[in-house]
Amino acid sequence: MHQPVLLEQVIQYLGPRPNENFIDCTIGEAGHSQVILELNSPDGKILGIDVDAESLKRLQTNERLILVHGNFKDLKKIAEENRFSNISGILFDLGLSSWQIDESGKGFTFRKDEPLVMILNGKQEVTAEEIINQWPEESLVEILQKFGEERYGRRIVKGIVNERKLHPIKTTFQLKNIVLKSIPFSHTRRGAVSRVLARVFQALRIVVNDELENLTKGMEQALEIIDSGGRIVVISFHSLEDRIVKNFFKEKRNQGVLRVLTEKPIIADEIEISFNYRSRSAKLRAAIKI
């Protein structure tokens, strides 16, 4: 069952009230939006956007929930096309949904043997498999070091390059085994191994889906279309994402456009982590448009 991350904190900082309109830029399984719909009734609406069309098929639309297949990098255009205005709050939950990780079969997790796809939007663009097998060695090193902040990035890439000379790397378990062979503590520090694997897989996903550039575009447009007094809430799961959000809020505060509501990121407490382990790396930041 999907557990929305930092639900109480999202509601606290968005502060939904009756008849207000909100945008959920990454609606996923609608965990946050379901609660917002309870609080902004009877006439408040939600524009729910998701880049993954399969995720949207799992939801039921109604007169108060408008679902759109799209990328929040086009947030302003999507809002205009759906005549969605008077916006009191915008949420970006940058994590994958439980369904995407556990059931999509796209290779987002190293815990299942699946094809190395990692494409969120369903279009046939560059896949993780293509990157792993075709991109130059130094490009792969940059991916793991820049987007994964992985100290063993070069060692792992050496393993990838050696392996792909023998046969194509097509599955998550193939990649996982290369990583395990490449890091020095693979048989002694299980928790550390999982963190390395998570960084490698997340770095590839970020590059495949151009996630960091899209985040900046989405926040810029959110600030443009939201009403004065409206709140922007972002949940990130990667230090680079959090840094982008932090710097964006700081820049706009210095310009007198935003008031930052969270001087430090809000994180999950031990109770939430105990029943929703994926919340362990979540960081929430919030700001209000002046």
Task: Look at residue 152 in the predicted model and tell me its pLDDT.
Answer: 94
SS (H, E, C) the chain: CCCCCCHHHHHHHHCCCCCCEEEECCCCCCHHHHHHHHHCCCCCCEEEEECCHHHHHCCCCECCEEEEECCHHHHHHHHHHCCCCCEEEEEEECCCCHHHHHCCCCCCCCCCCCECCCCCCCCCCCCHHHHHHHCCHHHHHHHHHHHCCCCCHHHHHHHHHHHHHHCCCCEHHHHHHHHHHHCCCCCCCHHHHHHHHHHHHHHHHHHHHCHHHHHHHHHHHHHHHCCCCCEEEEEECCHHHHHHHHHHHHHHHHCCCEEECCCCCECCCHHHHHHCHHHHHCEEEEEEEC
Measured between alpha carbons, how far is 89 from 289 in angstroms, rounded to an integer?
10
Banded model confidence at residue 259, pLDDT cuts 50, 70, 90: very high
% the chain with pLDDT above 90? 79
| Poorest-pLDDT segment among 117-121, 211-215, 251-255 | 117-121
| Poorest-pLDDT segment among 66-80, 106-120, 186-200, 263-277 | 186-200
Task: Look at residue 187 in the predicted model and tell me its pLDDT.
Answer: 54
Q: Across residues 132-141, what is the average pLDDT?
A: 98
Measured between alpha carbons, how far is 49 from 75 in angstroms, rounded to an integer?
9
| Higher-scoring residue by pLDDT: 121, 222 | 222
Q: Which two tokens stand for residue 157?
A: 């890439």
At a CB cut-off of 8 Å and minimum separation 6, what does 157 contact? 137, 140, 141, 144
pTM of the model: 0.90
Supply the mean pLDDT for the chain: 93
Q: Domains of the chain, with CATH numbers?
A: 7-99+211-289 (3.40.50.150), 104-209 (1.10.150.170)
Is residue 21 over pLDDT 90? yes
Q: Across residues 2-14, what is the average pLDDT?
A: 92
Task: Look at residue 99 in the predicted model and tell me its pLDDT.
Answer: 74
Tens digit of each residue's pLDDT (9 = 90 or more) over 45-57: 999 999 888 888 8
Tens digit of each residue's pLDDT (9 = 90 or more) over 186-224: 655 667 888 899 999 999 999 999 999 999 999 999 999
Amino acid identity, position 13: Y
Is residue 178 over pLDDT 70? yes
Task: Look at residue 189 in the predicted model and tell me its pLDDT.
Answer: 67
Amino acid identity, position 275: F
Q: Across residues 93-119, what is the average pLDDT?
A: 88
**Other residues' Cβ atoms within 10 Å of the Cβ of residue 112:** 15
